[in-house]
């Protein structure tokens, strides 16, 4: 038996006629950049979240960067994000000219620890980028409280957490802006790079649209209000996303169901720590992350049994070569540092059968 870490092929098989038709329609219409298919997806994604506006971008990294830039971050500013995340969460900060500052993660939920954020706020801090890591909402009440006290902007990194909720409210709707990725492997994935920004601030949305499209005046071609960048959602990706968006709720429930199966089957196995969900939050399980001290040997053992795994992430951001200029030591981020050698992501996607989950769980049981 084989259980790959990710299986995008079977999702495509299930939707093939509709997706192929949607792609063909874009080509026949030559609606490659912006245009109806993009506008249609933007409206639907906004409506699903109750955003006043959703602006498509070329990818999720640009979504973070453009939002941060539009909120005014630049040289001399500091922006705080989570020590355990994908590099996009901090890269976007450096790209604006601001300095990334890392906060450690909560030992139970692995999301950004508001206490650690509070410790790192200075007079230069301009914004916070909480990451809804693995699909679990960060503690947005605490984050927004800090932001209100210190007059900071908040951009939520929602790349892994489509439709996740904190205290009953969708992620992306808590901050000034929510940045989404539709990278193919994400819970809502395009067939190439894609991303976007949701906001309830119409003025901010306009700034975002202008900056992401060469600083162009939306109402007047060849009039450039400022310099910007080229980061637009393309029509083919938008059309694919519109087809898939209809499945997102069902897929999300499918992920949660598979996580429950894992939870039951892995309870009390070896020294494994299964994911913990913060009371009042929902977790959409972009990643089902366990912890074990025997990670290296377990990965090898599962590989021989045909099971794919991954690590998100093997080096916490402060310890990447990219940030050697800050010379951080393990003690600066004790939780992130300890967990980087223990975390392990198991296969999870809505197309997995109960048998697949059972097979992975018994392989882990056998190992221990
Ligand atoms: C995937 C991801 C991004 C970046 O998205 P891209 O579309 O790949 O640019 C940002 N933050 C997190 C946490 C991610 O997982």
Q: Which two tokens stand for residue 143?
A: 């984050």
Cα of 363 to ligand 1 centre, how many Å? 30
Q: For ligand 1, say whether the CB of 134 is within 6 Å of any of its atoms.
A: no
Residue to mutate, 6, 58, 59, 60, ligand 1, most ligand atoms under 8 Å from C-beta: 60
What's the pLDDT at 151?
97
Separation of alpha carbons 236 and 94, rounded Å: 30
What's the pLDDT at 225?
86
Q: Which two tokens stand for residue 140?
A: 């947005």
**Closest atom of ligand 1 to CA, residue 59:** 7
What's the pLDDT at 220?
86
Separation of alpha carbons 313 and 332, rounded Å: 17
Predicted TM-score of the model (pTM)? 0.98
Q: For ligand 1, say whether the CB of 159 is within 6 Å of any of its atoms.
A: yes
Cα of 185 to ligand 1 centre, how many Å? 10
Cα of 181 to ligand 1 centre, how many Å? 6
Within a 13 Å sphere around the CA of 197, how many CA atoms are in the beta-carbon half? 33
**CB contact at 8 A, 318 and 326:** yes
Q: For ligand 1, say whether the CB of 138 is within 6 Å of any of its atoms.
A: no
Question: For 231-253, what is each residue's pLDDT tens digit?
Answer: 999 999 999 999 999 999 999 99
What's the pLDDT at 247?
98
Q: Among residues 287, 284, 197, which one has the least CA distance to residue 248?
A: 284
Q: Which two tokens stand for residue 145?
A: 């409280």
- Give φ, ψ of 17 to 5 degrees: -60, -40
Cα of 219 to ligand 1 centre, how many Å? 31
- Give φ, ψ of 111 to 5 degrees: -90, 170
Q: Is 366 helix (H, G, I), strand (E, B) or coil?
A: helix
Cα of 168 to ligand 1 centre, how many Å? 24
Separation of alpha carbons 220 and 243, rounded Å: 32
Q: pLDDT tens for the chain, 368 residues: list them.
A: 999 999 999 999 999 999 999 999 999 999 999 899 999 999 999 999 999 999 999 999 999 999 999 999 999 999 999 999 999 999 999 999 999 999 999 999 999 999 999 999 999 999 999 999 999 999 999 999 999 999 999 999 999 999 999 999 999 999 999 999 999 999 999 999 999 999 999 999 999 999 999 999 988 889 998 999 999 999 999 999 999 999 999 999 999 999 999 999 999 998 899 999 999 889 999 999 999 999 999 999 999 999 999 999 999 999 999 999 999 999 999 999 999 999 999 999 999 999 999 999 999 999 99
What's the pLDDT at 34?
83
**CB contact at 8 A, 356 and 254:** no
- Give φ, ψ of 291 to 5 degrees: -125, 140
């Amino acid at each position: 038996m084989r259980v790959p870490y990710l299986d995008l092929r079977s999702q495509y098989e299930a939707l093939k006629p509709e997706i192929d038709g949607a792609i063909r329609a874009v080509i026949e219409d030559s609606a490659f950049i912006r245009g109806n298919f993009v506008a249609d997806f933007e409206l639907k994604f906004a409506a699903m979240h109750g955003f006043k506006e959703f602006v498509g971008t070329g990818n999720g990294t640009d979504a973070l960067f453009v939002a941060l830039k539009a909120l005014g971050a630049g040289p001399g500013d500091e922006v705080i994000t989570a020590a355990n995340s994908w590099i996009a969460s901090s890269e976007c900060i450096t790209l604006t000219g601001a300095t990334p500052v890392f906060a450690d993660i909560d030992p139970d939920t692995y999301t950004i620890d508001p206490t650690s954020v509070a410790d790192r706020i200075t007079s230069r801090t301009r914004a916070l980028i909480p990451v809804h890591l693995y699909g679990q909402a960060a503690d947005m009440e605490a984050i927004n409280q800090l932001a209100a006290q210190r007059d900071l902007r908040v951009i939520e990194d929602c790349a892994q957490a489509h439709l996740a909720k904190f205290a009953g409210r969708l992620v992306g709707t808590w901050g000034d802006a929510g940045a989404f990725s539709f990278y193919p492997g994400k819970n809502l994935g395009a067939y190439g790079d894609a991303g976007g920004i949701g906001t309830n601030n119409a003025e901010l949305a306009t700034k975002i649209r202008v900056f992401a499209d060469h600083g162009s005046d939306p109402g007047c071609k060849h009039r450039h209000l400022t310099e910007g960048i080229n980061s637009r959602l393309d029509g083919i990706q938008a059309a694919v996303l519109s087809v898939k968006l209809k499945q997102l709720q069902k897929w999300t429930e499918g992920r949660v169901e598979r996580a429950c199966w894992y939870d039951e089957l892995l309870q009390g196995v070896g020294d494994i720590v299964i994911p913990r969900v913060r009371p009042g939050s929902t977790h959409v399980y972009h990643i089902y992350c366990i912890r074990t001290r025997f990670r290296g040997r377990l990965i090898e053992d599962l590989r021989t049994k045909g099971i794919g795994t991954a690590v998100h992430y093997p080096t916490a951001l402060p310890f990447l070569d990219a940030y050697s200029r800050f010379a951080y030591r393990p003690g600066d981020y004790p939780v992130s540092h300890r967990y980087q050698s223990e975390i392990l992501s198991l296969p999870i996607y809505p197309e997995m059968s109960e048998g697949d989950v059972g097979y992975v769980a018994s392989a882990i049981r056998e190992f221990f």
